[in-house]
Structure 1
Amino acid sequence: MSLKFGTSGLRGLSVDLEGPASALYATAFARHLLAAGIARPGDEVLVGRDLRASSPAISAIAIAALRKAGLAPRDCGVLPTPALALLGLERKAAGLMVTGSHIPADRNGIKFYRPDGEIDKADEAAITAAAQAIRAEGVAFDAAREDAENLHEAAMALYGARNRALLPEGGLAGLRIGVYQHSTVARDLFVSVLAHYGADVVALGRSETFIPVDTEAVSAETVTLLQGWAAQHGLHAIISADGDGDRPLVADETGTPIRGDLVGLVASRFLGARVIATPVTSNSGIEAAVAGKVLRTKVGSPYVIAAMNEAVAAGETAVAGFEANGGTLTATPFTVNGHVLAPLPTRDSLMPVLAVLALLAAGERPLSQVAEGFALPAAASDRLENVPVETSAALMAELRSGAGALSAFLAPIGVPAKTSDVDGLRVTLEDASVIHFRPSGNAPEMRCYVEAADEAAAARLLKAGLQRIREWAVSR
């Protein structure tokens, strides 16, 4: 059983999580909540899931374990992660979301929530320690499965109402928007919310088999689909999300995806945020594109949330954050369209999608030109899949071993001028381009992020960076 916390939640193979492992970690979560005084015996815990084939079984196992541990699980069914989190905040209930987000279908995961939002790194450590203690006690888990009271409709109604209040009535009238439905839990809500605002909605690519869509590194196959649909249906934009609906995907009128950090930037402006927390992997031009303060963090929602919380504790108002995948979080209330938007300190995909579409609707330019108008440095990112964690760790250790090793590795690409080691290794080259190597925190993958003078240069730099990782891995 190989399970660990990544950048957002516990991840592992589905075959492991469909067994006693889910019961073990659900029990460890319950013990932590009770021991820390975060919950009392009999308190509610909300349980949701995505559309992976393994998720119903894992959810049922977790429900049984939570009940056995003295809590009162409530089944929220298939729903977006932000919808589960929002209901938890309203009911002051902890939560557990069974999802592997965007990773391959043979894997899955669990995201944990306290009554006040996502767990942090200290909680992760406490849950891990509780799981180790339970193993040491020799407690046996038989992967029992149970049902629970269903709160799906309540969660979806609350989340739907939040998003139907963001724009004026008819705010998207005149726009023809495609919704790439695939297997995201947000697929039906996207259609209904866009129709509510008057958009002409075209549902596309619905799948009954789980399709992993990484909105931060959109595959060539997905881009081909999007571009074909854009031309076929005469669309102004195409929207989608990852498996659990907390990472947005927005493509322009040509079907070309817009980078997630630009989506997050648009969402922050839409909210009127004065303090923005975002990881080091987000575009370096963001500081110049906003009037407020930008706080740079490590990759992962726990770090973004920690930075937002520090800002709030320091007396800041209008505090938001986003990740490079576009998932947007809020730490304070915002007034939008005359409505007060309560804080939602977890990644959301629907609000940032609506922010981009509202900007599109407000002008007379195609979305590609709207995006170009932000004049951010050209950036690109992708990943190499099936890179063992040990290989990634060895590569990063070598690159950090000294300037000579880094220069030798980058010799076919460029000359290092400056490095940052906040999360992975971010290298500014002598020509001012940037290349950033970082092992994924969620899967056996190596990620590469680049910035360059133009799109063509960024594409060449990204290709060269991925090739160097590949060559190094093969040479071992």
Structure 2
Amino acid sequence: MDTDAITFGTDGWRAPLEEFTVPRVRAVGQAVATYLTDTGDERPVAVGYDARERSAEFAEELADVLCANGFDVVLPERDRPTPVFAYGIVDRTLAGALVITASHNPPEYNGVKFIPSDGAPALPSVTDAIADRLAEPHAASSGERGTLRTADFVSPHAEHVLELVDSDRVETDLTVAYDAMHGSGRATTDALLERAGVAVDRLRCESDPTFGGTAPEPAPENLEPLIDHVQSHEADLGIANDGDADRLAIVTPKRGYLDENLFFAALYDYLLEQASGPVIRTVSTTQLLDRIADAHGETAYEVPVGFKWVAQGMADHEALVGGEESGGFTIDGHVREKDGVLMALIATAMHAEEPLDDRVDRLLATHGSIRQDKRSVACPDEQKAAVLSALEAEIPDAIAGGTIADVNTADGFKLTRDDGSWLLLRPSGTEPVLRVYAEAADTTLVQTLLDAGEELVRDVRN
């Protein structure tokens, strides 16, 4: 069996279904079983899965391999959000969880991720150790097969979240439109909101492994029905989850789709009303957070893209909140894994206290306007290292007419100009593309910076 096709990126291994085969999935299961055995962890393992057509089948294959290696396995009763398994690890004192999910990728993809015993994303030291152990499955030397049982992962997570977020802050006359995008958030996120006393209008909450013919990615172009529903005043707020509900998008009456950077800024501002602490953001996330932190005598810490680095930063700095511009967030007191179910409840509580549009307007008036956008440039995985190496030799002294004041190489190349605007060039960890990000005070400059970034990439590839 060819295990070279199994590569662990930013958030596990994802691949088209023609590559994501049963033998390879079983090899990942064996690698995790061997890793846990070698580290002396004999506790049970959770195996979860998302709403994709073959996800339950792949989960059963993983469970079979783990049981053959002597591990007891706990399965959910159906597809459920990835974050409920992350919380379940800590709640049930498990060795970890394997989750079959390709998150926001199109339906012809699937994936698998391992979440260790702390409920936070696996760091490279763990995923590298697992990759080193990829092999065809074998039975435990003792010959004792583990047990397999199903359990409710949703209720304990809901109880914890309702304690963490004071549900009294959520007004019962609020109507939230929830779009599950046919993913695993259905009957989980919407059920949580109803438990908090909110009226919920459900959109795309039926099971559909094709996700209606599109990727379950809560981007503006995929959320037009939700945007129309909110802006026609049929609901006070709109919330969407991605395919495995670890991320969310927000829709407001005034703005329609609310930029995730602006939501993150509003979230930090809201949490600072109740507590104190620094914020962890990725290099691709808005520096508006830095301004808010400075105004409160706090610190914003910048980490590479990938929620594993956000989680590590939260542990290192005892942060109040951590997140990334792609819509993944978590807060102090919860597991250090992005959780779109938790955040749906917090977003609702925020909106009940002060309309999100008003809070964002206030923050921008106080701390200055920001605009951000990004593009993707096709680049095969095997060419990424060469392109980045070439870029290192081509970093200019100025870009788009502005002098570069700082170059950050923590994750690709982040070029910050003397006016505070910036351009970031980095490789995607999940797709064969280079990401080009820019932030500035106005949309025109953002697009100019993105054009300059794309030109830089083209120059070094030619």
TM-score (norm 1): 0.82
Aligned-pair CA distance for 1:223 = 4.8
1:98 to 83, 93, 100: 100
Contact 2:48 2:59 in 1 (8 A): yes
Alpha-carbon separation, structure 2, partners of 1:206 and 1:223: 13
**268-277 or 97-106: bigger deviation:** 268-277
Alpha-carbon separation, structure 1, partners of 2:256 and 2:455: 26
1:446 aligned residue: 434
Contact 1:308 1:321 in 2 (8 A): yes
* SS at structure 2 position matched to 1:198: coil
Alpha-carbon separation, structure 1, partners of 2:250 and 2:390: 37
1:398 to 382, 385, 390: 390
2:36 aligned residue: 33
Alpha-carbon separation, structure 2, partners of 1:469 and 1:445: 15
Contact 1:178 1:201 in 2 (8 A): yes
Matched, 1:288 2:291: yes
Distance 1:163 1:172, change over 3 A: farther
Contact 2:277 2:320 in 1 (8 A): yes
* SS at structure 1 position matched to 2:106: coil
2:159 aligned residue: 161
Distance 1:49 1:462, change over 3 A: farther
Contact 2:436 2:450 in 1 (8 A): no
1:338 aligned residue: none
- Matched AA of 2:306: G
Alignment of structure 1 residues 313-462 onto 2, 5 Å = 316=318, 319-330=320-331, 333=333, 343-363=334-354, 366-375=355-364, 377-384=369-376, 387-403=379-395, 416-429=404-417, 432-458=420-446, 460-461=447-448
Identity %: 22
Contact 1:433 1:452 in 2 (8 A): yes
Aligned-pair CA distance for 1:289 = 0.6
Distance 1:170 1:120, change over 3 A: closer
Contact 1:75 1:149 in 2 (8 A): yes
Alpha-carbon separation, structure 2, partners of 1:456 and 1:256: 21
Distance 1:322 1:431, change over 3 A: closer
1:305 to 284, 301, 311: 311
2:143 aligned residue: none
- Matched AA of 2:91: E
Contact 2:230 2:256 in 1 (8 A): no
Alpha-carbon separation, structure 2, partners of 1:29 and 1:187: 29
Distance 1:386 1:49, change over 3 A: farther
RMSD of aligned residue pairs (Cα, Å) = 2.9
> 1:98-119 CA distances to partner (integer Å, 9 max, x unpaired)?
1111122222211212222232
Alpha-carbon separation, structure 1, partners of 2:326 and 2:309: 15
Alpha-carbon separation, structure 2, partners of 1:397 and 1:172: 53
Distance 1:297 1:147, change over 3 A: same
Aligned residues: 436
Alpha-carbon separation, structure 2, partners of 1:3 and 1:351: 31
Alpha-carbon separation, structure 2, partners of 1:319 and 1:418: 27
Contact 1:383 1:445 in 2 (8 A): no
Contact 2:416 2:423 in 1 (8 A): yes
Structure 1: any 5+ residue segments left out of the alignment? 141-145, 334-342
Aligned-pair CA distance for 1:430 = 5.4
1:340 aligned residue: none
Matched, 1:14 2:17: yes
Distance 1:116 1:351, change over 3 A: same
Aligned-pair CA distance for 1:422 = 1.1
- Matched AA of 2:322: G
TM-score (norm 2): 0.85
Alpha-carbon separation, structure 2, partners of 1:252 and 1:466: 31
* SS at structure 1 position matched to 2:133: helix
Structure 2: any 5+ residue segments left out of the alignment? 140-145
Distance 1:187 1:469, change over 3 A: farther
Contact 1:120 1:302 in 2 (8 A): yes
